[in-house]
């Protein structure tokens, strides 16, 4: 063999050795499972308001919708449940657990911990039914009010009918047009559950849609019958403390019935009345202002802290996926609220929708114009409200 041929053989052997060593090195590289098994991100904590809801998340992107839901539930149930104006001494703690880390058979759990702290854990994913998440918030809030009324004890309870009623009530308060949809559903029902059975409805039984709607109409009628605060407030306070609901109802609502047959007849008539009652689902001026303030407020996590974003930041931030998704959702919400928001604030809702559309499209001039319109329309709405209230306050009483 010539020297040149010998070198060719050596170079071939060298190439094979290098290829083999590279292949072994690739095999020794850490696999993707090492990254997947890395420690999850530390939880982040957000608050709706002091003493209301505490939201604990691992993914900061889900904090905003959870905060909005918490504020909506608290606002809707504040009067019916007699919630404290300044919040509880400890908030309802809601932990959104990623679905991959969830091991419970139920979609959410609610427990009372010492010394009276209520903790809600919810399986969270983009596919999670938002009504189920709302139920978790509602159940936690009712239980926290029960603790405030009675302290920690073995008899505290959240009746299933009350949970469904408060969930539907909060939905209708947030989107009043749903009340009409609930009534249409109720019109198709062929039977109404007996009052005693509805009040003793237990978890684990079949959760019928008809019973859910019946719970809402009972909730509405009992409040309508409460000519004295002690009626509804006193009865529901006793019920969450463990009192027998059907047996104690006549005690708080004295004068409405004389016997059990009268109670059942009242309920059957009340169901038909509430499910057919024609109401114009228009938000109050206060609720309209609150809705606009909430829909124009943006929160984000920065350097481990929760900060309030200014509207001027939206066009630039719209490139971030969570901001873009939220902008799209809020545009839809401003469109859906136009039929129910108070007339004084319709223009403000319209300009807010234009503002968000311009932010989505990155149109700076349209965004500036819409922002200016929104600020002016909000002020005009408040001036209209104050002017009308002043006229009504000074109008002669007949």
Higher pLDDT, 155 or 173: 155
Averaged pLDDT, 96-110: 94
Write down the pLDDT at residue 265.
Answer: 94
- Sheet harboring 53-57: ordered strands across? 44-47, 53-57, 92-98, 117-124, 108-113
CB-neighbour burial class of residue 118 (10 A; exposed 0-12, middle 13-18, buried 19+): buried
Please check whether residue 211 is in contact with residue 198, taking contact to mean a CB–CB distance below 8 angstroms: yes
Which residue has 């405030």 as its token pair? 148
Averaged pLDDT, 98-109: 94
Q: What is the pLDDT of residues 4-48, one digit of tens each?
A: 444 454 444 444 444 444 344 444 344 434 344 556 668 899 999
Confidence of residue 108 (pLDDT cuts 50, 70, 90): very high
Higher pLDDT, 263 or 40: 263
- DSSP secondary structure, 160-227, as one string: HHHHHHHHHHHHHHHSTHHHHHHHHHHHT-S----HHHHHT--TTS---HHHHHHHHHHHHHHHHT-S
Confidence of residue 256 (pLDDT cuts 50, 70, 90): confident
Write down the pLDDT at residue 1.
Answer: 47
Of the candidates 331, 330, 350, the residue with the CA atom closest to the CA atom of residue 341? 350
Q: What percent of the chain has pLDDT over 70?
A: 87
Q: What is the pTM of this model?
A: 0.68
Q: What is the pLDDT of residues 54-81, one digit of tens each?
A: 999 988 888 889 999 999 999 999 989 9
Please check whether residue 225 is in contact with residue 231, taking contact to mean a CB–CB distance below 8 angstroms: yes
- What does the alpha-carbon distance between residue 110 and residue 4 come to, in Å, rounded to a whole number? 81
Kindly tell me if the per-residue pLDDT of 372 is higher than 90: yes
Kindly tell me if the per-residue pLDDT of 136 is higher than 90: yes
Q: What is the pLDDT of residues 307-357, one digit of tens each?
A: 888 899 899 888 888 889 899 989 988 888 887 788 899 999 999 999 999
Task: Answer whether the bond into residue 115 is a cis peptide, omega within 30°.
Answer: yes
Write down the pLDDT at residue 279.
Answer: 66
How does the average pLDDT of the chain come out, rounded? 86
Buried b (16+ CB within 10 A) or exposed e, 10-39: eeeeeeeeeeeeeeeeeeeeeeeeeeeeee
Write down the pLDDT at residue 98.
Answer: 93
Kindly tell me if the per-residue pLDDT of 123 is higher than 90: yes
Q: What is the pLDDT of residues 272-297, one digit of tens each?
A: 999 888 765 577 888 889 889 999 99
Q: What is the pLDDT of residues 188-235, one digit of tens each?
A: 898 899 999 999 999 988 789 999 999 999 999 999 898 777 899 999
Which residue has 């509430």 as its token pair? 274
Write down the pLDDT at residue 19.
Answer: 45
Confidence of residue 396 (pLDDT cuts 50, 70, 90): low
Structure tokens at 220: 């509405």
Neighbour count for residue 97 (Cβ, 10 Å): 20
């Amino acid at each position: 063999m010539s020297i040149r041929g010998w070198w060719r053989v050596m170079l071939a052997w060298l190439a094979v050795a290098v290829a083999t060593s590279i292949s072994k090195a690739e095999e020794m590289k850490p696999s993707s499972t090492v990254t997947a098994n890395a420690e999850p991100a530390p939880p982040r904590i957000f608050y709706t308001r002091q003493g209301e809801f505490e939201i604990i998340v691992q993914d900061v992107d889900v904090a905003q919708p959870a905060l909005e839901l918490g504020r909506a539930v608290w606002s809707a149930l504040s009067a019916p449940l007699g919630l404290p104006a300044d919040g509880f001494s400890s908030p309802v703690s809601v932990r959104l657990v990623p679905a991959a880390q969830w091991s419970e058979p139920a979609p959410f759990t609610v427990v009372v911990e010492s010394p009276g702290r209520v903790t809600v854990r919810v399986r969270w994913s983009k596919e999670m039914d938002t009504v189920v998440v709302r139920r978790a918030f509602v159940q936690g809030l009712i239980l926290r009010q029960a603790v405030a009324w009675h302290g920690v004890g073995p008899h505290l309870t959240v009746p299933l009918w009350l949970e469904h009623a408060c969930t539907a009530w909060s939905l209708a308060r947030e989107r009043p047009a749903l009340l009409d949809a609930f009534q249409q559903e109720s019109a198709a029902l062929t039977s109404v559950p007996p009052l005693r059975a509805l009040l003793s409805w237990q978890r684990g039984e079949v959760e019928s849609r008809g019973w859910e709607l019946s719970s809402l109409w009972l909730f509405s009628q009992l409040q309508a019958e409460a000519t004295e605060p002690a009626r509804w407030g006193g009865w529901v306070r006793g019920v969450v403390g463990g009192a027998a609901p059907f047996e104690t109802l006549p005690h708080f609502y004295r004068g409405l019935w004389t016997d059990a047959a009268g109670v059942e007849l009242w309920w059957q008539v009340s169901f038909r009345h509430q499910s057919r009652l024609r109401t114009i689902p228009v938000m109050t001026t206060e609720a309209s202002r609150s809705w606009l303030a909430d829909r124009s407020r943006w929160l984000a996590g920065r350097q481990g802290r929760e900060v309030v974003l200014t509207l001027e930041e939206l066009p630039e931030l719209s490139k971030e996926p969570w901001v873009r998704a939220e902008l799209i959702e809020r545009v839809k919400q401003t469109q859906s609220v136009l039929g129910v928001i108070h007339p004084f604030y319709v223009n403000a809702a319209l300009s807010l929708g234009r503002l968000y559309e311009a932010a989505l499209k990155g149109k700076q001039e349209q965004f500036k114009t819409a922002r200016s319109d929104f600020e002016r329309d909000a002020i005009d709405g408040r001036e209209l409200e104050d002017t009308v209230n002043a006229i009504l306050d000074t109008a002669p009483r007949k």
